[in-house]
């Protein structure tokens, strides 16, 4: 099991928030449960926004007004019989905080309160914040709403909190007790942890390597010879991370697998699809560069330190990073992996 303290660092790097949003990560290093970790980051973030940058926007609303404002709703006004009071029903744009992101925040707070075994202090703080959000609607959430809300945002704190909301939402499980939720440990959710690990590795190297290195994800085009080829049917080749310096490149493909080796006729071997995928990257990336590949697996027990295969001019390294050790050792090991695998 990955220690919750290390999950804190994974989240910090994966969301690019290691220094920029330190107030959000106050009092989280001593937390031992993943639900309380996410809830604490979320509550810290909401309090930070309420005190600093709580957003408002023009929202179309239909209300009763003194006089006329915006679009006059004649039929509704007559039905209400309020003209004699010099009042009308109109639809107008109002400067309001009832935006989609805040609706997701409020609904998430309601869900946090309903999680069984949530820390009592966190529960009380959630109730207190909800009192400040009386003018915000509670909504029914699905995963499509998170990407929609993020697309409206440029503020990094809002984007971070929407990511936290989505993680909390995807970890909620129905409870036998009406109105309560169980919380699925997200460290056991392969899909979420694979995405987290991928972003963590890319952002870690982007932040920790010297500025001379360029770190990014890359789309690789297939090297097609015939113009009549059915290129539209080819799958997209998108790398997790490419580290570049001058004419040297290291392609990193992260794999969040419980078993690093697979059995083939009673022999343990590397996953063939991982090798084929990396080989395709190497053969289709720039011809004029020296390129190595790295298949990087997280582990809490088994470690690979020397495994590699040479294909023609390319070297593919197989490495693991032990996430069950002290953070300083994780940092040291990742830097050593880069040093040993980057082309000489």
Instruction: Compute the distance between CA of residue 45 and CA of residue 68 in angstroms, rounded to an integer.
Output: 39
Whole-angstrom distance, CA of residue 246 vs CA of residue 302: 34
216-234 average pLDDT score? 76
Residue 14 CB neighbours (<10 A): 20
Q: Is the domain of 336 the same as that of 208? A: yes
Structure tokens at 124: 């009380």
What is the value of pTM for the model shown? 0.73
- 36 and 172 share a domain? yes
Average pLDDT over residues 44-52: 91
**91-118 pLDDT, tens per residue?**
988 888 999 999 999 999 999 999 988 9
Count of CB atoms situated within 10 Å of the CB of 104:
23
Beta bridge partners of 249: 244, 291
Cα separations in angstroms, 248 against 209, 214, 275 = 15, 11, 21
Under 8 Å between Cβ of 253 and 218 = no
On whether both 219 and 146 belong to a single domain, the answer is: no
Q: CATH number of the domain at 314, please.
A: 3.40.1350
Roughly what angle, to the nearest 10 degrees, separates helices 190-208 and 4-14?
60
Quick one: pLDDT at residue 226? Answer: 64
What domain range is 171 assigned to?
4-55+98-188
Q: Which two tokens stand for residue 335?
A: 């830097």
| Average pLDDT of the segment spanning 219-228 | 73
Q: Do 47 and 65 fall into the same domain?
A: no
Tell me the two tokens of residue 102. Answer: 């805040």
Residues 16 and 152 reside in one and the same domain: yes
Give the pLDDT score at 55.
93
> What is the tens place of the pLDDT at every residue in 233-246?
777 888 999 999 99
Radius of gyration of the chain (CA): 26
Same domain, 162 and 136: yes
Determine the pLDDT at residue 244: 95
pLDDT of residue 92: 86
Pairwise CA distance, residues 199 & 215, whole Å: 12
Q: What is the largest CA-CA distance in the chain?
A: 88
In terms of domains, do 266 and 176 share one?
no
Examine the domain organization and report whether 180 and 282 are in the same domain: no
Number of folded domains in the chain?
Answer: 3
- Predicted confidence at residue 290, as pLDDT, reads 92
- Do both 105 and 14 map to the same domain? yes
SS (H, E, C) 56-99: CEEEEEEEEEECCCCEECHHHHHHHCCHHHCEEEEEEEEEECCC
pLDDT at 223 over 80: no
- Asked whether residue 32 falls in the same domain as residue 142, the answer is yes
Alpha helices in the chain (DSSP H): 4-14, 34-52, 74-80, 100-113, 120-131, 143-151, 156-170, 190-208, 272-284, 327-341
Read off the pLDDT of residues 118-169 as tens digits, 9 standing for 90 and up.
999 999 999 999 999 999 999 999 999 999 999 989 888 898 899 899 989 9
Q: Do 165 and 47 share a structural domain?
A: yes
Q: What is the mean pLDDT of residues 186-202?
A: 85
170 and 318 share one domain = no
Question: Among 130, 161, 188, where does a domain finish?
Answer: 188
Is residue 69 helix, strand or coil? coil
Q: Residue 290 — φ and ψ, nearest 5°?
A: -90, 120
């Amino acid at each position: 099991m990955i220690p919750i303290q290390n999950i804190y660092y994974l989240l910090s790097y994966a969301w690019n928030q290691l220094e920029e949003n330190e107030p959000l990560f106050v009092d989280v290093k001593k937390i031992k449960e993943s639900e309380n970790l996410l809830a604490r980051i979320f509550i810290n973030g909401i309090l930070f926004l309420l005190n600093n940058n709580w957003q408002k926007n023009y929202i179309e609303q239909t209300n009763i007004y003194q006089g006329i404002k915006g679009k006059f709703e004649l039929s509704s006004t007559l039905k209400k019989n309020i003209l004699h009071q010099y009042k009308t029903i109109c639809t107008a744009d109002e400067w309001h905080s009832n935006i989609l992101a805040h609706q997701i925040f409020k609904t998430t707070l309601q869900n946090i309160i309903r999680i069984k075994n949530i820390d009592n202090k966190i529960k009380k703080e959630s109730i207190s914040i909800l009192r400040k959000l009386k003018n915000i609607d509670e909504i029914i959430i699905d995963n499509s709403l998170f990407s929609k809300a993020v697309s409206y945002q440029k503020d990094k704190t809002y984007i971070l909190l929407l990511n936290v909301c989505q993680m909390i939402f995807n970890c909620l499980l129905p409870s036998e007790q009406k109105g309560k939720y169980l919380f699925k440990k997200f460290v056991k959710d392969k899909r979420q942890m694979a995405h987290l690990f991928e972003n963590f590795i890319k952002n870690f190297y982007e932040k920790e390597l010297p500025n001379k290195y360029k770190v990014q994800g890359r789309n690789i085009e297939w090297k097609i010879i015939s113009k009549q080829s059915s290129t539209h049917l080819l799958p997209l080749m998108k790398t997790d991370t490419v580290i570049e310096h001058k004419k040297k490149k290291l392609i990193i493909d992260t794999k969040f697998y419980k078993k690093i080796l697979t059995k083939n006729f009673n022999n343990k071997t590397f996953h063939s699809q991982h090798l084929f995928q990396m080989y395709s990257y190497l053969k289709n990336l720039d011809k004029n560069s020296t390129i190595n590949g790295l298949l990087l697996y997280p582990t809490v027990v088994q470690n690979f330190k020397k495994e590699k295969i040479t294909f023609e001019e390319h070297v593919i390294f197989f490495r693991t990073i032990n996430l069950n050790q002290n953070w300083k050792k994780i940092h040291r090991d990742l830097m050593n992996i880069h040093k040993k695998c980057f082309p000489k």
